[in-house]
């Protein structure tokens, strides 16, 4: 990991020689605006204030993303919807003596309904603008970055917590020679560069408890799956909306079932996937005498041959996105052989006898947003255990346990908002794993929403654009509030 001094150098080089002077000048514009309009701002002026707050400079170019996504767009529009509350609370934070202003901030942090949509960022920013040397900007990224530097945890739930943050921030700045105006950018870089160490590789023998821990699931749930597979049908499909960890769960469960990692085969189905790819088919080959066709076994047939040659071991085939192919055509005789494993059939191309060994498990994943499990051929459905994986708040809570407080609050808050608006039981409700991202901050959360979740919902809510637009506004506002 780079040292603090090295991160400072990287950030300063990215922003250029006018890094601090440009921010000092931009902040002075905000102060001038506040002195002129505070107490009488209308909605348009509140939004204009957000744009000024977000102003800074990078390599000589003026930008408006210093606190992306805070202070501009959704959050300032929300604040502008109630100018009276904004003017009253902002005036108190801007004009009260510092002890009283800190008491006001503490009350807001303890009860966010006093200053709706302001989050922890705007109250602290107003105090920072009054005295940048004494106060700090309390956003998710600065709290997490400072926590990595000091080893202390920071939150925004009380006056005492904010004052502790400010004291440690001042000490850290003085120790490293960092100006108040550059602290937020440097701490954000520290947070993003200091990623958690990669998880230790799983041992060759993976127990049920290790599978559950790796998937953040109940041990009892994983044990039920294992019992279903080892005492009945040896094939199952994990089904649920995108982002529920279906492939991850299938791969970990395969590590438990298979004798070794080398006994696991993974393939992904797609519309062009065929019986010839999976079971067997004719493939062209060039010889001295020209072109000829030969029978080649498919990926599943080859795995079955390996399993048949080592009956004491267990093998697992994972089929990702299995409902994207024409399953009845791809599986062919397999629909019969999976149920009657002690029976052989004659394959059409090679004319050899074939059966599925008892020591082969088959795990599939299926996206219910593409096609419901109920739409599959009944003959195929009744030969697979159906393991549902819905969006699960408990999984996300377990994942966030022990992680920085701000990151956990952000992940859970955005997940709950989207889940409740779309509907927890809707087949297109986005899953929890979208938000299980290392170093999650407001900017990362907004990118996940912009480039992954929102486009996905737009595809399925194409007849409800107004609903999506309202959700978009509320998601951006919540991200900014939790920043």
Q: Is residue 299 classed exposed, middle or buried when 0-12, 13-18 and 19+ CB atoms within 10 A define those classes?
A: middle
Q: Above pLDDT 70, what percent of the chain?
A: 94
Ramachandran region of residue 177, left (φ > 0), alpha (ψ -120 to 50) or beta? left
Helical (H) or strand (E) element with 311: none
* Angle, helices 180-193/19-37, rounded to nearest 10 degrees: 120
Residue 155 has phi, psi (to 5 degrees) of: -140, 175
| pLDDT tens over the chain, length 483 residues | 789 999 999 999 999 999 999 999 999 999 999 999 999 999 999 999 999 999 999 999 999 989 865 566 778 888 999 999 999 999 999 999 999 999 999 999 999 999 998 988 899 999 999 999 999 999 888 998 999 899 998 989 999 999 999 999 999 999 999 999 999 999 999 988 866 555 666 666 789 999 999 999 999 999 999 999 999 999 999 999 999 999 999 999 999 999 999 999 999 999 999 999 999 998 777 777 777 788 899 999 999 999 999 999 999 999 999 988 888 899 999 989 998 998 999 999 999 999 999 999 999 999 887 654 555 566 677 889 999 999 999 999 999 886 766 688 889 999 999 999 998 888 889 999 999 987 788 888 999 999 999 999 998 888 888 999 999 989 988 888 877
Q: For 199, which DSSP code?
A: P
Give 129-169 pLDDT, tens digit per residue. Answer: 999 999 999 988 899 899 989 999 898 999 999 999 999 99
C-alpha distance across the termini of the chain, in Å: 25
Give 366-380 pLDDT, tens digit per residue. Answer: 988 765 455 556 667
Q: Is 62 helix (H, G, I), strand (E, B) or coil?
A: strand
CA separation for the pair 4, 11 (Å, rounded): 11
Ramachandran region of residue 86, left (φ > 0), alpha (ψ -120 to 50) or beta? alpha
Superfamily assignment of 208-388 in CATH?
A: P-loop containing nucleotide triphosphate hydrolases (3.40.50.300)
pTM (two decimals): 0.82
Q: If you average pLDDT over every residue of the chain, what do you get?
A: 90
CA nearest neighbour of 75 among 442, 433, 456: 442
pLDDT for position 19? 94
CA separation for the pair 279, 36 (Å, rounded): 76
pLDDT for position 377? 62
The residue extents of the domains of the chain are 4-193, 208-388, 393-437+440-481
CA quadruple 171, 176, 177, 178: dihedral sign:
negative
């Amino acid at each position: 990991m780079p040292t603090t001094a090295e991160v400072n150098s990287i950030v300063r080089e990215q922003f250029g020689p006018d890094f601090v002077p440009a921010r000092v000048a931009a902040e002075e514009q905000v102060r001038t605006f506040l002195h002129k309009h505070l107490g009488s701002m209308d909605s348009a002026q509140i939004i204009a204030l957000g744009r000024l707050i977000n102003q800074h400079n990078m390599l000589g170019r003026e930008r408006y993303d210093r606190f992306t996504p805070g202070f501009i767009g959704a959050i300032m529009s929300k604040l502008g919807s109630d100018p009276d509350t904004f003017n009253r609370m902002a005036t108190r934070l801007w004009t009260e003596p510092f002890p009283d202003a800190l008491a006001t901030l503490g009350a807001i942090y303890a009860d966010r309904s006093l200053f709706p949509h302001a989050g922890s960022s705007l109250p602290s920013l107003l105090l920072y603008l009054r005295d940048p040397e004494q106060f700090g900007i309390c956003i998710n990224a600065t709290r997490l970055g400072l926590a990595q530097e000091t080893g202390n945890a920071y939150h925004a739930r009380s006056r005492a917590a904010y004052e502790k943050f400010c004291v440690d921030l001042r000490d850290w700045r003085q120790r490293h020679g960092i100006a108040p105006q550059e602290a937020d950018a440097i701490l954000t870089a520290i947070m993003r560069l200091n990623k958690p160490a990669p998880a230790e590789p799983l041992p060759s023998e993976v127990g049920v408890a290790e599978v559950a821990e790796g998937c953040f699931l109940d041990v009892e749930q994983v044990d039920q799956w294992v019992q279903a597979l080892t005492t009945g049908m040896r094939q199952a499909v994990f089904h649920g909306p995108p982002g529920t960890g279906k492939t991850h769960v299938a791969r970990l469960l395969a590590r438990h079932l298979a004798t070794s990692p080398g006994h696991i085969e993974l393939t992904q189905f797609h519309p062009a996937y065929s019986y010839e790819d999976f079971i067997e088919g004719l493939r062209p080959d060039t010889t001295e005498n020209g072109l000829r066709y030969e029978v080649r076994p498919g990926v599943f047939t080859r795995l079955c041959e390996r399993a048949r040659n080592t009956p004491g071991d267990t093998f697992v085939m994972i089929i990702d996105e299995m409902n994207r192919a024409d399953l009845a055509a791809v599986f062919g005789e397999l629909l019969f052989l999976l149920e009657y494993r002690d029976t052989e059939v004659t394959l059409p191309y090679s004319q050899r006898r074939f059966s599925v060994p008892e020591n082969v498990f088959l795990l599939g994943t299926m996206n219910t947003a593409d096609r419901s499990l109920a739409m599959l051929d009944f003959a195929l459905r009744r030969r697979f255990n159906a393991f549902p994986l819905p969006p699960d708040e408990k999984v996300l809570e377990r994942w966030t346990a022990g992680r920085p407080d701000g990151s956990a609050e952000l992940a859970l808050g955005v997940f709950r908002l989207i889940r409740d608006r779309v509907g927890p039981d809707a087949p297109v409700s986005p899953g929890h794993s979208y938000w299980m991202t290392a170093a999650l901050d407001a900017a990362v959360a907004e990118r996940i929403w912009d480039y992954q979740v929102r486009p996905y919902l737009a595809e399925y809510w194409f007849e409800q654009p107004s609903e999506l637009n309202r959700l978009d506004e509320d998601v951006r506002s919540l991200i900014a509030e939790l920043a």
